[in-house]
Structure 1
């Protein structure tokens, strides 16, 4: 019998057969409901097959895969752990410890709490002579740049590293230091999606290439920098797509051979929250794995408390995220581990197509500077940012510990790391409203109707809704009559109460509750009651709470009403 089982072959269903089965399982819902539109405007299919990929890309598929593999650097995913310290003494002590424990790239943001004195720079120069580095500076006058004057002339040719700056830094005598960067993290932190980041990277490359004496001279100094967000497959495809786009870009300059350009990447801080900060660790690990699979060459994992003030423990954990992924996943043993995935290859191709089209549009407008000056770039970023904010506030995008499964007992840290204060994080509106609600000592309640079983689903939903801004509602025992409900409303300290029950109990009891409720208590109903809405609102109901609602808009409105009542 076992031999027969080994020889059994199952017939491979076709896409149309799978589609028929899916439509049957949807029970009347359209097949299109399985399609997902991303923030980049790309439509994700519910199923990807070899046949559909070949039909979509044809011969381009082999070109895409071979291009990505040929442009991958040998030394991938080097650990670039940023050093945080309040004094120069602590800085060098932490730098030594970091390098001894697996850090491979000396990573510094020049905005520190101590001065870059001659002595400090001379000491730092010794590290730059021995290790590769990634430094972030404000501009060409940044005091940290004086470190290069301290490096001995005979050592300058071998010094390797990256200078991250808004504009390229001119550095003579250091042929292996890449100082022209297409830093897309700036746009990422303003809300850019993957396609925009890729297009802006190319537009910056075009701008800088035209400023250099030759494309070859430019390419030796150039690198691209990305922030990697929590959309796992999107970010893998983004990093892979850049290699395909770079090949097309360099071909436009008449370059036929493969010119490898390093990809410097870091975990996204726009996805971080000051609430339930250990979730940031999960986000960072997810993002780092995307970076590893996607082919980043240098990677920085920001500590989970980077938004406030990183500790020795959080820095160590962040560094170990990279080390564990490198050592335990075996991803680096494979060139382009995502290559051949029907979904990722399709997504990569979509990003290439869309990003190249946007890049051409930017060039037609006169280049990245003219495009920015016209206001078009800012308009695009604002649109992407607002869409992302709306997705978080309506829970279409989950921000665990912030917009869902929030812990109201969390203490919101008031301290802010100035390095990351300007990042447009989607968690900020939740943090701000929680701070205001906590300061105002807002009292809320849930009035349950009917039985525990019938009222609990909506009561739990409302409780979670209020928890997102730190509110812990007082919950009534389920009441069966309007008299019991009014007795509870008159006894509670809550100035904002949400009525929760099934549809029948709510329709039966709400009119009488509204007729007798205390004037100083704002009352909402959980659920959508379109037929009763007009009458209830006319009789004193404040509004409704329901799934898909904008949490921040709703609770801001409630907070404003509470202030009015208190006056």
Structure 2
């Protein structure tokens, strides 16, 4: 370019100007179709501007940004790679290897397939003198806790447990945890996780001898899901909420509390497991930008049996983020983003309101005991599953772009067996279909260009349960279509044709359809109810609940045969 880039000026575009162009691009669709209502009860706008942000937050914006930045010890996170082993010898060797390859925090779940004998615990305790740790135990009598009989009093780390652990004389070990991961795995959304973290903090603060003792032992855990910007805002929002929480207890100084995070298990699938690696990378980046202090990337095959290679790949995700992306060299990378700052403020307001509701009803214990916690999580989980089943939310390799040749593994990692994963209904239904092996076919009518889009949709629809549908080939006459249907050995047939051809074909096909064949149409039609009265089974169409539809089809096939 002949002109220096520094001298180039770009015209400022107003929101109204952008809106005008957006409406033109929508070609008749309402402008409101660009707004997205998320499960947290917040509506995301298609565009955020500086004026909108200042109008919304005003002077609170500077307070929000400064709070988030002041409540961090460092601009980076520590890599907390979890150790997997089937013997104590392998366990100790794995710890040594991971620490030599970039792991920074000894991360252990006590539920191992070997016993925590004294020899193993003594050797483990030696590592605690040099490295920080994150251990997960089941109760106060967990055998792993005996490691502190041999550990230095200067050991530094945190213990995740269902209830706070009493550990005398270990001043640098945090033992009071607001662990939201369980609620995340039960279906909680970001606002609910934040509110529950505060409710647990209030419960433990009230149980402590004094607030100062409580905050020195307290930390919070989050699972980070695939909703990139939502997870960034969630972590940032917690720091703002924590500042408000400590202020409510009369604390004016900044109190830094560690945020310990990990990749979400609920978004993982046993199908096309390498997609889990992509999910983990996305989740790790959002946690890094959001400001997690400790982060664990689960291996892509964590639902079955992690291997040496998968553990190494998971660890390298964090190493690449820290060493090669440079994103952690920036203080609060998301700070100042109109969208993320607005979303952070929305999460703060919504989570604080829910926290106060929980407190008004008697606090966390009462909220749990009266069934409201379970009801809230169940409603959130069911809404999330519906979004996956109707493809409003994509699970690549599971509810869309599924590979029918994928085989479900028989090995189960018991630690995560009870997680309410979004892919689980598809996996369970696929198992039923693979066992039953029903014959499914697509009756393709007309020219290729006429039937291909709907035939491809139907193919993808049944691929989600591990079935490959055969196709009739291009049929060009009604008589030929009737002959093919009368002679097919398929148990379930879907007609793929244009709207006009479908309307003409269905009445004719229903006159020859064998009683043992279920016939559906691809698409939604106003005549459908009349066709069903005449013997049509139903329809396959976009936005349909895949789980409900294919469960009904399999049940009907079993009843007919």
Is the TM value for this pair above 0.5?
A: yes
1:46-61 mapped onto 2 (5 Å cutoff): 46-61=46-61
1:277-292 mapped onto 2 (5 Å cutoff): 277-292=273-288
Q: Which structure 2 segments of 5+ residues have no match?
A: none
**Cα gap change, 1:493/1:145 in structure 2, threshold over 3 Å: closer, same or farther?**
same
Match of 1:293 among 285, 289, 296: 289
Tell me the CA shift for residue 8 of structure 1: 4.7
8 Å CA contact 1:446–1:497 kept in 2: the answer is yes
1:370-381 mapped onto 2 (5 Å cutoff): 370-381=366-377
Deviations 1:345-402 (A, max 9, x none): 0000000000000000001011000011111111110111011000000000000000
Distance 1:93 1:125 in 2: 14
The residue aligned with 2:235 is 239
The residue aligned with 2:553 is 558
Distance 1:422 1:358 in 2: 27
Distance 1:241 1:564 in 2: 53
The residue aligned with 1:147 is 147
Tell me the CA shift for residue 6 of structure 1: 6.1
**Cα gap change, 1:253/1:564 in structure 2, threshold over 3 Å: closer, same or farther?**
same
Query: Tell me, what secondary structure is at the counterpart of 1:445?
Result: strand
Residue 200 (str. 1) matches residue 196 (str. 2): yes
8 Å CA contact 1:481–1:509 kept in 2: the answer is no
Query: Tell me, what secondary structure is at the counterpart of 1:192?
Result: coil
The residue aligned with 1:343 is 339
Distance 1:426 1:498 in 2: 27
Tell me the CA shift for residue 16 of structure 1: 1.5
Tell me the CA shift for residue 289 of structure 1: 0.3
8 Å CA contact 1:194–1:234 kept in 2: the answer is yes
Distance 2:96 2:4 in 1: 63
After TM superposition, the score normalised by the length of structure 1 is: 0.97
Query: Tell me, what secondary structure is at the counterpart of 2:129?
Result: helix
The residue aligned with 2:255 is 259
Distance 2:3 2:281 in 1: 44
The residue aligned with 1:510 is 506
Distance 1:10 1:313 in 2: 50
The residue aligned with 1:216 is 212
The residue aligned with 1:102 is 102
The residue aligned with 1:395 is 391
The residue aligned with 2:119 is 119
Residue 543 (str. 1) matches residue 543 (str. 2): no
Deviations 1:265-296 (A, max 9, x none): 00000000001000000000000001110110
8 Å CA contact 2:494–2:520 kept in 1: the answer is yes
Tell me the CA shift for residue 75 of structure 1: 6.5
Distance 1:11 1:75 in 2: 35
**Cα gap change, 1:269/1:533 in structure 2, threshold over 3 Å: closer, same or farther?**
same
8 Å CA contact 1:241–1:352 kept in 2: the answer is yes
The residue aligned with 1:500 is 496
Match of 2:225 among 229, 232, 245: 229
1:427-442 mapped onto 2 (5 Å cutoff): 427-442=423-438
The residue aligned with 2:38 is 38
Distance 2:431 2:487 in 1: 27
Deviations 1:238-260 (A, max 9, x none): 00000000000000111111110
Distance 1:320 1:185 in 2: 23
**Cα gap change, 1:217/1:312 in structure 2, threshold over 3 Å: closer, same or farther?**
same
Query: Tell me, what secondary structure is at the counterpart of 1:130?
Result: coil
Query: Tell me, what secondary structure is at the counterpart of 1:199?
Result: helix
Query: Tell me, what secondary structure is at the counterpart of 1:447?
Result: strand
8 Å CA contact 2:75–2:291 kept in 1: the answer is no
Tell me the CA shift for residue 213 of structure 1: 1.4
Distance 1:29 1:113 in 2: 58
Query: Tell me, what secondary structure is at the counterpart of 1:163?
Result: strand
Deviations 1:155-212 (A, max 9, x none): 30x2101100111101001000001000000100000000000000000000101111
Query: Tell me, what secondary structure is at the counterpart of 1:89?
Result: helix
Match of 1:488 among 481, 484, 494: 484
**Structural RMSD (CA):** 1.2
1:382-421 mapped onto 2 (5 Å cutoff): 382-421=378-417
8 Å CA contact 2:75–2:330 kept in 1: the answer is no
The residue aligned with 1:182 is 178
Q: Which structure 1 segments of 5+ residues have no match?
A: none
Distance 1:399 1:3 in 2: 47
Distance 2:259 2:529 in 1: 57
Residue 534 (str. 1) matches residue 529 (str. 2): yes
Tell me the CA shift for residue 4 of structure 1: 8.4
Query: Tell me, what secondary structure is at the counterpart of 1:351?
Result: helix
Distance 1:6 1:380 in 2: 54
Distance 1:506 1:31 in 2: 33
Query: Tell me, what secondary structure is at the counterpart of 2:453?
Result: helix
8 Å CA contact 2:485–2:509 kept in 1: the answer is no
Match of 2:448 among 452, 455, 462: 452
Tell me the CA shift for residue 498 of structure 1: 0.5
1:68-79 mapped onto 2 (5 Å cutoff): 68-74=68-74, 76-79=76-79
Tell me the CA shift for residue 445 of structure 1: 0.5
Tell me the CA shift for residue 25 of structure 1: 2.3
The residue aligned with 2:465 is 469
Tell me the CA shift for residue 484 of structure 1: 1.4
Tell me the CA shift for residue 27 of structure 1: 2.6
The residue aligned with 1:168 is 164
Query: Tell me, what secondary structure is at the counterpart of 1:220?
Result: helix
Distance 2:520 2:409 in 1: 31
Length, aligned pairs only: 561
